[in-house]
Structure 1
Amino acid sequence: MALLGLVAACTSTGNCESPFSASPQFKGCGFSNPPNPQALPSASGWTIWSRFVFGDKVDTVPVDPIPVRALTPAQLEALDAGANHVVRLGHSSHLLKLRGKFWLIDPVFSERVSPFSFVGPKRFHASPMKLEQLPAIEGLILSHDHYDHLDVATIEYLRDRVQHYFVPLGVGARLVDMGVSPSRITELDWWQSATHDGVQLTAAPAQHFSGRTLNDRDRTLWASWIVQSGTQRIFYSGDSGYFKGFKEIGDRFGGFDLALMENGAYDAYWPAVHMTPEQSVQAFQDLRGKVLYSVHNSTFDLAFHTWHEPLDRIADLSEARQIDLATPEIGEVLTVGAPRKNVRWWAGLK
């Protein structure tokens, strides 16, 4: 089987052969974040996992049903083919209709985000449409290889139904292992771009990590993404702690019509790999975005804050700073550049 970007095993000296050795992000035997003296250290793995196993969680899973707007293929086809639309599927999964063609970002349709089907964080709500109902997909974008962003069952179902996949360095080998043809995959380093069917894609920096097992940490790269369709630019943060890279991205691209910003699964035990709502708002302002779109919440229990806290905090912050905020319901369609009234749909839900 052909392999794309398979990182060789590290030696005891920390030196290894790799097709990614020329990447500025590749150090020793893995990828690394840019220097950030302000980044706070995470607790040890043992401390974090002990807390997950033995710690108490309060209100991290909703009791009341999460509102979901069911979607039909006919509704999707009826969306204006001359505009750009974003459909919230849940967590960080989104379906985009970019000037008539459909794209996916980090699609996860499985019941759990885990290496096992019977244990692990379980979704709070059904998807607004079944995997089998998806239209033909022109492109699929992945931010990194964590289970809540790269889902085996979803990729295996879609592998021949997607025209092309765009992923950070090393993630192509993951897709090949899931049955995707290498000819359908483009791997990009930070600041590299590709164009497909009139859409320009650029992988950009993020401050995070990667890995799907106990012994493959940072063997693949993580990224944020810029999607330009027509005259409009959409930013997707992927997963990231706060760092100066957001300002650099904003300066390079001159702002964004819509910024999908991570807002959830943060904790003082891992402060450098996920942003608090305050940091998400600051990152959005660094990017010079027009509309702040909150993602990475309301679908899985991945931290210790209440399920609604990220939404409460970012809504209050945005109101205080007069930021145009989008917190769509699951299944809601947002048309980029079109006026809309944001609603705190979670208010009053337990």
Structure 2
Amino acid sequence: MKRLIFSVVLVMLVASAVSLPFVLNAGFGQLPQGEQLTAVEKSANYRDGKFHNQLPTPGFTGKKNMLAAWWEFLFTKRENARPQQQLPTVHTDLASLPLEQDTMVWMGHSSWYLQLAGKRILIDPILSNYAAPFSFLNKAFAGNDLWTAKNMPPIDLLIISHDHYDHLDYATIKALMPKIKQVITPLGVGSHLRYWGMDPAKIYEADWQQTVAVSEDLAVHVLPARHFSGRGLKRNQTLWASFMLVTPQQKIYYSGDSGYGPHFKAIGEQFGAIDLAIMENGQYDEDWKYIHMMPEETAQAALDLNARGVLPGHAGRFVLAKHSWDDPYKRLAVASRGRGYRLLTPRLGEPVLVADKAQVFRAWWE
């Protein structure tokens, strides 16, 4: 009996030691509780205790078992996974950009700064040099640290597409919090922000096909994506989304993270021609082919959306897949030849003038 009690106590101590870093790390956030959980449970996209995609979407699709696939991903050295030198950059002072000029700036990976209808907007900002719960994991490429919270202008609107670490960063949110006036997230994601100290009055959580009127001249439509969520062991307790930003002059789409699916064509039919589409293009693999798009699928999704211009993102900063760092750009450039849209490839920090239909960018990855 004593041996059994000792074994049980030992197991409990080991479990406590393993879980302690997670308990102490506020960056893991907090899942919806109370009124927020009640709102989540009312969603038509939430059932059986979790959110669901519009189509069945297995997270793992590889031929190996999942353990073998993870071992290969984590420990197999891959050629050209990171660039040999710093990516070309343009050191743009965001605060100095004319506010009346609709402008978009790629800040690396899926982080974007936008000026639309006189509003300063941040999408999925990651100002830290890592995309993980701990700072020693998943380091950014060298030189991807052009901005800090100190040199960011006041932000009228923060948009978070979902709660994965490469889109929602604790340190970034804490540092930017005094500058953020309003936040739009999919259902449940606001729980992390409130836990970190964000004023609940600033946060608007929305379900797919809901619209937030930011001002008389800017509406944000929260739309479907094909992905998943989670910052710990429990998945899909918060929603993931794409977004359409509509002003009297422009329609700007942001795909968030998404595998290919019929939702792109449905969105294109719902909104008509789209001026610019910021599209996921990176971190793909056959082992998870339904939750991230191959570059050729990104090109097809742009056509489905009736996009006039395409800005690729979700690459150029972190290693989250097995492809080389430049493969997304090479493949999308080939897949975009002869298509009915302009492929825009600004350098890190290089302003894109939304109204300038003749602006040209070079293939900086070559």
Calculate the TM-score normalised by the size of structure 1: 0.90
Q: How many residues align?
A: 332
Q: Does 1:50 align with 2:71?
A: yes
1:61 alignment partner in structure 2:
82
Shift of 1:69: 0.8
Summarize the alignment of residues 97-116 of structure 1 with structure 2, pairs less than 5 Å apart. 97-116=115-134
Q: Which has the larger radius of gyration?
A: 2
Distance in 1 between residues matched to 2:142 and 2:187, nearest whole Å: 32
Distance 1:127 1:40, change over 3 A: closer
Shift of 1:322: 5.3
Distance 1:223 1:315, change over 3 A: same
Q: Does 1:307 align with 2:325?
A: yes
1:12 alignment partner in structure 2:
none
SS at match of 1:266: coil
Which one of the candidate residues 13, 16, 21 is aligned to 2:41?
Answer: 21
Shift of 1:100: 2.8
2:219 alignment partner in structure 1:
200
Distance in 1 between residues matched to 2:97 and 2:121, nearest whole Å: 16
SS at match of 1:259: strand
Partner amino acid, structure 2, of 1:96: L
Distance in 2 between residues matched to 1:26 and 1:304, nearest whole Å: 32
Q: Does 1:209 align with 2:228?
A: yes
Distance in 1 between residues matched to 2:90 and 2:240, nearest whole Å: 31
1:298 alignment partner in structure 2:
316
**Is the CA contact 1:146–1:212 (under 8 Å) kept in the aligned structure 2?**
yes
Distance in 1 between residues matched to 2:256 and 2:119, nearest whole Å: 22
1:224 alignment partner in structure 2:
242
1:160 alignment partner in structure 2:
178
Calculate the TM-score normalised by the size of structure 2: 0.86
Q: Which runs of 5+ in 1 are unaligned?
A: 9-16
**Is the CA contact 2:126–2:172 (under 8 Å) kept in the aligned structure 1?**
yes
2:137 alignment partner in structure 1:
119
Q: Does 1:6 align with 2:37?
A: no
Partner amino acid, structure 1, of 2:44: P
Distance 1:19 1:275, change over 3 A: same
1:238 alignment partner in structure 2:
256
Q: Which has the higher helix share?
A: 2
SS at match of 1:34: coil
Partner amino acid, structure 1, of 2:67: W
1:175 alignment partner in structure 2:
193
Partner amino acid, structure 2, of 1:184: K
Shift of 1:5: 7.4
**Is the CA contact 2:121–2:155 (under 8 Å) kept in the aligned structure 1?**
yes
Shift of 1:99: 3.0
Root-mean-square deviation over aligned CA pairs: 2.0
Distance in 1 between residues matched to 2:211 and 2:102, nearest whole Å: 20
Deviations 1:57-97 (A, max 9, x none): 11110002101111225xx4343x33311011110101111
Distance in 2 between residues matched to 1:238 and 1:96, nearest whole Å: 15
**Is the CA contact 1:112–1:123 (under 8 Å) kept in the aligned structure 2?**
no
Shift of 1:177: 1.2
